[in-house]
Amino acid sequence: MFWRKKTPNAETPPWDDNTLKRVSKVEQFNVDITSITRTVRFGGPIIGRQSNKLKRDDEYEIYGFMKYPKFIPVKIYFFPDFCADEHIGVWFYHLYGSLPPDRAMPFLELHIHDTDSEIRSLFFQAHHAALLSGKRRSSVRFFKRKGDGVMTEKERQDQWSSESRYPLLSAVSWVELESERLPRWAYPFSDERFSAKGMPAWYDLKL
């Protein structure tokens, strides 16, 4: 695993062959989101127009991690560029810091095409709802093509995707608002946490 404390091994690259092989075999990334930074810029006329309105620019930077096929940090960025292909964005291997391996942190970087800011707003709402519900993270699932993620020889030397970008086919996010103090009988009956055992009589029901 990446972050287990051990004696640094200069011969083990941040993106080793075993990790690359395991990532390429999966068809989805299940990302736990732990941090969202929203930067809003105001000021200046709208480019290309004669207008008195101020230009507003929203940027989102999302951080999280995936636990399968192994622990890997993930950073997500959003771009307004129109994507003509049948996918929502791209992903690639990246490196924070510099070589040698004991000084570099490998992570996956995801670029999402979001022309109307709707996708980033949905991620923000889901994370906000999770924190309000007492959780420490929200979740999003990205789908990829099985087999994508094999580095070229140059990329193995560079230790990041200096030549390749792999498509993200789709994504699923969900908003769930509920108290973490609910008794088990108050959860949706389709939820694995639901149980009618110990449920009081109807006239004694209270939360």
Q: DSSP state, 178?
A: -
Better-scored residue on pLDDT, 117 or 51: 117
Residue 18 backbone dihedrals phi, psi, to 5 degrees: -65, -45
Which of 80-89, 94-103, 151-160 has the highest mean predicted lDDT (pLDDT)? 151-160
CA distances from 109 to 66, 95, 134 (A): 12, 9, 28
Least confident of 18-27, 31-40, 76-85, 190-199: 76-85
Q: Taking Cα atoms as reference points, which of 105, 119, 36 lies closest to residue 71?
A: 105
Q: How many angstroms separate the CA atoms of 44 and 66, rounded?
A: 39
pLDDT range class, residue 32, cuts 50, 70, 90: very high
* CB half-sphere exposure, 58, CA atoms < 13 A: 14
User: pTM here?
Assistant: 0.79
Domain boundaries, the chain: 17-176, 182-207
Residue range 151-182, pLDDT digits in tens: 999 999 999 999 999 999 999 998 888 888 88
Mean pLDDT of 47-70: 75
Q: Taking Cα atoms as reference points, which of 175, 149, 198 lies closest to residue 15?
A: 149
Mean pLDDT of 106-118: 92
Provide the phi-psi class of 140: left if phi over 0, else alpha when psi is between -120 and 50, else beta.
beta
Q: DSSP state, 150?
A: P
Degrees to nearest 5, angle at CA 139 with 135 and 142: 175
